[in-house]
Each structure stands twice: as C-alpha cells, then as structure tokens.
Amino acid sequence: MELKDCSGFGLDEFAEHSENHPGVMLQEIPEEDLIVVHTRHGSVYLIAMVNRNQGIVAVQGSGQFLRRTTLCHLNGSTMGGSAIKPGWLGLDMCLELRILGTNQTITTSLIHYIEILKKPVEAKLLIEAVVEEEGGSGWAIL
C-alpha cells in the first residue's frame, strides 16, 4: 500500500494500515517516561504524560505547531479524515492532538519513529514548563 501523508484513507484501508503497522498505546507507556515522536517532515515532538487515564499530555514541538509547551489531549493516530485509533501512537500514521480548553486539533505529518526514553527528570521539567507558562491554570481543567 502506498503511503499517503494523512490525506485520508477509506475505512478499510485505515483498518488494514493501523493493524499492520507497529506502534504503542499511550496506556502502555510508564508515566515517568519521555516520549519523542519524529515525523516524516523532520519535526520532533517531546511528550510527557500529565494524566495517562485521561490522555492528557504536555507537548513541545520543533515544527510549525506547539513550539511552546502546551497541554493537549492525545487523541490517537489517524490517516486523515474522521477515522482514528484512540490512544495509539502508530508508525506511518499521523498523530492527532487537541489543545486543552480549545477545539483546535493538531495533526502531524506521518510518524517516522518513536522513542520512549527513561528520562523522568526531563519529563517532569516538560510538565513544569507548561504549568509555568499557563500560570497553573492548566491544572484546573484536569
């Protein structure tokens, strides 16, 4: 199957693609780990879990979006359109995040690779950065 860059797959294509490509469920990642997502277009997203059960993460990106550390809901992985695999970070799929307190959704380019790093200090610093930037207001909606 030729890869499309999040331009939208049919439901059958999406189901086949999401079942046959590696990835990881957010629920399987230890809360103190730092997740590093590298996309096809060279963007890098640092992700730390704030509340795993609710799918809330602190995210900082190097690309066009999320340059400041931002609280987001990690919706899951998609290939564009309305089909999504909730809570999934899938290779050769796009990561979909919703900025908390807004209806703004960010969809990355295709995930090239994912690193899960045992870096609890860095993960904690990422979370603290979002609290500092939001003056603690982000915690009110958790």
| 37 has a pLDDT exceeding 70 | yes
**pLDDT tens digits for 43-94?**
999 999 999 999 999 999 997 788 899 999 999 999 877 788 999 999 999 9
For the four alpha carbons of 12, 13, 16 and 18, in that order, the dihedral sign comes to negative
| 137 has a pLDDT exceeding 90 | no
Provide the whole-model pTM: 0.83
Q: Are 37 and 111 in contact (CB under 8 A)?
A: yes
CA distances (Å), origin 60, targets 4, 19, 117, 127: 25, 28, 16, 10
Q: What pLDDT, on the 0 to 100 scale, is given for residue 2?
A: 42
Q: What pLDDT, on the 0 to 100 scale, is given for residue 7?
A: 55
**pLDDT tens digits for 94-118?**
999 999 999 999 999 999 999 999 9
Q: What pLDDT, on the 0 to 100 scale, is given for residue 135?
A: 62
Q: What pLDDT, on the 0 to 100 scale, is given for residue 110?
A: 92
Q: What pLDDT, on the 0 to 100 scale, is given for residue 6?
A: 53
